[in-house]
Amino acid sequence: MSKLVAENHQALHSISESVTEEEFKDGTVKKLIKKMRDALHSYNVDGYVGVAIAAPQIGVAKRVFLVEDQSKDRDDALPFLVAINPEIIKFSKKTNVVGEGCLSVPERYGAVKRHSNVTLRAMDENGEVYERGAGGLLAQIFQHECDHLDGTLFIDRAEQVWTKKEADELPLREANS
C-alpha cells in the first residue's frame, strides 16, 4: 500500500518530470495510478476524505494527478479522471478566495485565491490527449493539483492559514471565504 509522504518530502517541493512514452508502454503509468488510488482510498482523517491526489504526494516526482471523489454525501459528485502531463491552457479573469486543505498538510487549512474557471489539457491513462473545462470545485482541484506538480503547496499561496483546530472554531463564512 502506498502512503502519503510528509510535508517536508523533496518531491512536494520540486518540479515534477513529464511522463515519457516509454513509461506508458512499460506499465509504469498504470502502476503509479494504482498506487495513487490506493493512497487516496486509505486517507480518512477525522472523517475527512480526499477528492484528488498528485504523484508527488506519494513521493513520485512525475506529472500525474487523479480526481476521484471519496465523499459519500456530495450532491454534485466529481468525475473520475486521470491527468498526465497536465497543463492549464486557459484561466478565467474572475477569481475567488476559497477554503482549501490538502492530504499532504493535514493539520492546516487556508484561504487561497483561485481562478473560477479553467481549461485543462492532459493525457489520460492510455496516453490520449484531452481537454476539459472546469468551474467551481473542479477548477480549484485542477489548480491545486497542478501546483503540486510544480512543487507548490497551497500554504505557499494562501492569503491566510489556520490550524485545523482554529478552522473548526471559525464561523463557516470565514473559513470558506
Give all strands of the β-sheet with 95-100 in edge-to-edge order. Answer: 95-100, 108-115, 160-163
- Among 23, 100, 145, 166, the one annotated catalytic: 145
CA angle 51, 149, 40 (to 5 degrees): 25
Distance of CA 30 to the CA centre of its chain: 18
Asked, for residue 37, whether it belongs to a domain, the answer is: yes
- Average pLDDT of the segment spanning 62-82: 85
Look at residue 60 and tell me whether its pLDDT is greater than 60.
yes
Q: Confidence band (pLDDT; 50, 70, 90) for 76?
A: confident
What is the predicted pLDDT for the residue at 168? 73
Q: How many domains does the chain have?
A: 1
Residue labelled with grid coordinates 491526489: 53
Q: Confidence band (pLDDT; 50, 70, 90) for 47?
A: low
CATH code of the domain covering residue 139: 3.90.45.10
- Give yes or no for a contact between 85 and 23, defined as CB atoms under 8 angstroms apart: no
Is the model more confident about 42 or about 66? 66
Tell me the pLDDT tens digit for each residue of 114-138: 999 999 999 999 999 999 999 999 9
By C-alpha distance, which of 137, 132, 133 is closest to 96? 137
Asked, for residue 82, whether it belongs to a domain, the answer is: yes
Asked, for residue 44, whether it belongs to a domain, the answer is: yes
- Average pLDDT of the segment spanning 24-42: 95
Contacts of 141 (CB under 8 A, 6+ apart): 51, 52, 67, 78, 134
Mean of pLDDT over the chain: 91
Q: Which domain holds residue 36?
A: 10-175
What is the predicted pLDDT for the residue at 1? 64
Pairing state of beta strands 160-163 and 108-115?
antiparallel
145 tagged catalytic: yes
Asked, for residue 128, whether it belongs to a domain, the answer is: yes
- Does the predicted model carry a pTM greater than 0.85? yes
Tell me the pLDDT tens digit for each residue of 78-120: 889 999 999 999 999 999 999 999 999 988 999 999 999 999 9
Asked, for residue 3, whether it belongs to a domain, the answer is: no
What is the predicted pLDDT for the residue at 134? 97
Look at residue 176 and tell me whether its pLDDT is greater than 50.
no
Chain length of the chain: 177
Tell me the pLDDT tens digit for each residue of 139-161: 999 999 999 999 999 999 999 99
What is the predicted pLDDT for the residue at 13? 97
Asked, for residue 105, whether it belongs to a domain, the answer is: yes
